[in-house]
């Protein structure tokens, strides 16, 4: 895993702020979502949406979580290969036994819905939770949103949109770096592979302050090739019925590493129990 976040080329020319006067001197033309959304919010501070938008969002709330097994999901791109294979095979995951963890997860869902209502109402995106698949590579992605950029540097380009709520420290680190984290970069690569889109907007919102950074990522064919190769390798593991080995840090059961964070990790978890191939798939 490289130590340096490198998602390139990334264009970041605007940082959305809570005060209108901060917009002065930035370059709203270089981003797709945040500047237009700030402008919309200043004119429409109350949450008011057309009934069809609430209906669309309501359908998402009422939708049962999708069964993601038998496919490789873009949201898992960048995770350990073995983890992605165990997810594909629908192996048992550790339940989230902490109410706090469940609250964090639910909060993330509603933050996404808040943004989706806002961006649909502002006419910045056209659709939400849009499913794209690539059956040949058993791959799928559910896009937070998609649309066609209106004006500015990207005017006329079809774009995908990915939203992330970030803890203060990671929000600040990514804002300073001018790029989202490595895992988000890989997710976007796979989403670009599946959609064919050339640009992607990633909005990071600070969970404590609601400050927003936006990163516009341009398609980079060498990265798309890497995303494709990773999927080919994952598919080969499934076809040959041979899982990738455990990460060395997980073999050592490193207390601060993935072994205890991963839904398949832990003593007695699916990862340890599966060996080179689980008994039941």
Work out whether strand 139-148 and strand 158-166 pair parallel, antiparallel, or are unpaired: antiparallel
CA neighbor of 155 nearest in space, from 17, 36, 41: 36
Q: Does 128 bind ligand SF4 (CB under 6 A)?
A: no
CA neighbor of 39 nearest in space, from 116, 118, 114: 118
Q: Count residues near ligand SF4 (CB under 6 A).
A: 13
Interacting residues with ligand SF4 between 148 and 207 (CB under 6 A): none
Q: Does 250 bind ligand SF4 (CB under 6 A)?
A: yes
Least distance CB 162 / ligand SF4 (angstroms): 22
State the Cα–Cα distance between residues 218 and 48, nearest whole angstrom: 33
Binding to ligand SF4 by CB under 6 A, coded x per residue (else -) over 55-84, reads -------------------------x-xx-
- The full DSSP string for 59-83 is HHHHSPPP--TTSEEGGGTTS-HHH
Residue from 10, 214, 247, 278 in contact with ligand SF4 (CB under 6 A)? 247
Least distance CB 79 / ligand SF4 (angstroms): 7
Residue from 264, 268, 276, 277 in contact with ligand SF4 (CB under 6 A)? 264
Least distance CB 274 / ligand SF4 (angstroms): 9
State the Cα–Cα distance between residues 60 and 210, nearest whole angstrom: 23
State which residue, 18 or 92, has the beta carbon closest to ligand SF4.
Answer: 92
Least distance CB 69 / ligand SF4 (angstroms): 15
State which residue, 44 or 254, has the beta carbon closest to ligand SF4.
Answer: 254
State the Cα–Cα distance between residues 144 and 60, nearest whole angstrom: 11
Q: Does 265 bind ligand SF4 (CB under 6 A)?
A: yes
State which residue, 137 or 262, has the beta carbon closest to ligand SF4.
Answer: 262
Instruction: For residue 238, give both structure tokens.
Output: 């499934």
Q: Does 246 bind ligand SF4 (CB under 6 A)?
A: yes
Least distance CB 89 / ligand SF4 (angstroms): 11
State which residue, 89 or 149, has the beta carbon closest to ligand SF4.
Answer: 89
CA neighbor of 247 nearest in space, from 227, 271, 229, 268: 271
Q: How far is CA 153 from CA 16, 17, 29, 40, 157, in A?
A: 17, 21, 6, 19, 9
**Burial readout 78-103 (b: 16 or more C-beta within 10 A, e: otherwise):** bbbebbbbbbbbebeeeeeeeeeeee
Least distance CB 202 / ligand SF4 (angstroms): 24
State which residue, 123 or 245, has the beta carbon closest to ligand SF4.
Answer: 245
- The full DSSP string for 91-123 is --------HHHHHHHHHHHHHHHHHHHHHHHTT
State which residue, 237 or 271, has the beta carbon closest to ligand SF4.
Answer: 271
Three-state SS at 160 = strand
State which residue, 8 or 69, has the beta carbon closest to ligand SF4.
Answer: 69
Point out which residues bind ligand SF4 (CB under 6 A): 80, 82-83, 86, 246-247, 250, 258-259, 262, 264-265, 271
């Amino acid at each position: 895993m490289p130590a340096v976040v490198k998602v390139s080329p990334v264009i970041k020319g605007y940082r959305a702020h809570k005060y209108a006067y901060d917009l002065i001197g930035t370059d709203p033309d270089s981003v797709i979502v945040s500047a237009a959304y700030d402008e919309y919010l200043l004119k429409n501070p109350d949450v008011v949406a057309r009934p069809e938008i609430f209906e669309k969002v309501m359908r998402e709330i009422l939708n049962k979580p999708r069964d993601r097994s038998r496919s490789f999901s873009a949201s898992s791109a960048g995770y350990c290969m073995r983890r992605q294979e165990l997810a594909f095979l629908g192996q048992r995951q550790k339940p989230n036994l902490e109410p706090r963890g469940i609250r964090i997860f639910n909060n993330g869902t509603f933050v996404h819905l808040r943004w989706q209502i806002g961006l649909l109402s502002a006419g910045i995106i056209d659709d939400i939770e849009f499913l794209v698949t690539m059956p040949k590579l058993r791959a799928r992605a559910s896009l937070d949103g998609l649309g066609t950029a209106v004006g500015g540097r990207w005017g006329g380009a079809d774009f995908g949109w990915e939203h992330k709520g970030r803890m203060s420290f990671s929000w600040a680190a990514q804002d300073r770096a001018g790029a989202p984290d490595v895992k988000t970069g890989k997710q976007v690569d796979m989403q670009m592979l599946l959609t064919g889109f050339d640009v992607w907007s990633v909005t990071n919102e600070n969970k404590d302050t609601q400050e927003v950074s936006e990163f516009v990522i341009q398609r980079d064919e060498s990265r798309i090739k890497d995303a494709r190769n990773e999927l080919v390798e994952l598919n080969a593991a499934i076809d040959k019925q041979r899982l990738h080995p455990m990460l060395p840090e997980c073999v050592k059961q490193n207390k601060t590493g993935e072994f205890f964070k991963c839904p398949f990790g832990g003593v007695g978890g699916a990862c340890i129990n599966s060996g080179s191939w689980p008994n039941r798939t």
